[in-house]
Amino acid sequence: MTDLKAIDGTEVSALCFGCMQFGGTADGQASRDMYEACRVAGVNFFDTAHTYTGGEAERLLGLFSRQDRERLIIATKAAYTGGSGRNNILRQFDESRARMNLDMIDILYLHRWDPDTPLDETFETLSELQQTGAIRYIGVSNFAAWQVMKAQGVANLVGTRIDVIQPMYSLIKRQAEVEIFPMAIDEGIAVAPYSPLGSGFLTGKYLTGGTGRLSTDKRYAARYGQDWMVDTAQCLSGIATEMGIDAATLAVAWAAQHTAVTAPIISARSVAQLQPSLEARNLKLTDEAYDRIEALSVRPAPATDRLEEAVF
């Protein structure tokens, strides 16, 4: 598996912090406080994107990270808008570097699959950025397994490879277990899954009338709008209470413990909201506890649907 390391050789932390809220629902001070809480907790992996909060997330991360730069792994994403053509990747990447005041960014992800741009154009561009030292690792976000492998074949032809992927994964979004995780293990690709809390659903806050993206954004409401997910969140909260820990801690620890996962991406709007997720770094679930939590949601069928041959 790709061994993600900081410039100075520091190993990647067990958790990644997602800066999506920097400069948005988290103002400058709240953003700085969360960054510092992550550093105190040993987190050295930070994720942002060209599109987040109109560029403010990148600007703030660049500001906060200057002193620690060589000990960090900083990732951003390009081509969520405008496609994965050469000119768009280079333009957005240059804007991201300028916002963060960095000459080099550790990981550059393609933010999503682009069916309209030839992959050779995309990966020749990424390979050039890598060869010139502008990026260290190449990643893809929100790709299906077949898309990763198609892109990996082209990447190999131009002398590079996909080092890290960013799928959605949580106790209530487990599709990655079917093909993405087995592919990543077989190909030696690092995995930094996002939304281990199900956009806050698994914290239990929506069960008690709390608000957040699920109550304000129709996309998230549709993504997590199934009745069985409510039952799963309720049962997880019950187990967390029984164990004397926060449901968020349990949800992140469960996602982190999958053998394919390198570092789940956690996020928050404040240090108080962030702290339970950070605590997951210290929680190693027993096999019994892991299996008990796993049983709270439906295990997706293997890709071939030959259940009698499945190895779980």
Q: Which amino acid is at 80?
A: Y
Q: What is the model's pTM?
A: 0.94
- Go through the domains of the chain in sequence order and give each one's CATH number: 16-309 (3.20.20.100)
pLDDT at 211: 59
Which residues lie closer than 8 Å to 53 by C-beta, 6 or more apart? 20, 21, 22, 23, 24
Burial class for 212, CB neighbours closer than 10 Å (0-12, 13-18, 19+): middle
pLDDT at 216: 64
The answer to which of 159-168, 200-209, 267-276, 278-287 has the lowest mean pLDDT is: 200-209
pLDDT at 1: 67
The per-residue pLDDT for range 165-193, each reduced to its tens digit, is 999 999 999 999 999 999 999 999 999 99
- Rounded CA-CA distance 111/241 in Å is 37
Length of the chain: 312
Contact 200, 175 (CB under 8 A): no
pLDDT at 219: 74
- Rounded CA-CA distance 189/173 in Å is 20
Contact 11, 42 (CB under 8 A): no
- Rounded CA-CA distance 47/258 in Å is 20
pLDDT at 214: 62
Contact 120, 155 (CB under 8 A): no
What mean pLDDT is reported for the chain? 94
306: confidence class by pLDDT, cuts 50, 70, 90: confident
Contact 264, 256 (CB under 8 A): yes
312 pLDDT exceeds 60? no
Token pair 């979004």 is at which residue? 173
pLDDT at 224: 72
Contact 117, 83 (CB under 8 A): yes
Mean pLDDT for the stretch of residues 60-79 = 97
Which residue among the candidates 52, 80, 194, 220 is catalytic per the annotation? 52
pLDDT at 206: 60
Mean pLDDT for the stretch of residues 268-282 = 97
Rounded to 10°, the helix 86-100/119-131 angle is 40
Burial class for 3, CB neighbours closer than 10 Å (0-12, 13-18, 19+): exposed
Mean pLDDT for the stretch of residues 286-291 = 97
C-alpha separations of 96 from 7, 27, 90, 259 in Å = 19, 20, 10, 32
The per-residue pLDDT for range 204-251, each reduced to its tens digit, is 766 665 556 665 667 766 777 778 888 999 999 999 999 999 999 999
Does the active-site annotation cover 206? no
24 pLDDT exceeds 60? yes
The per-residue pLDDT for range 76-115, each reduced to its tens digit, is 999 999 999 999 999 999 999 999 999 999 999 999 999 9
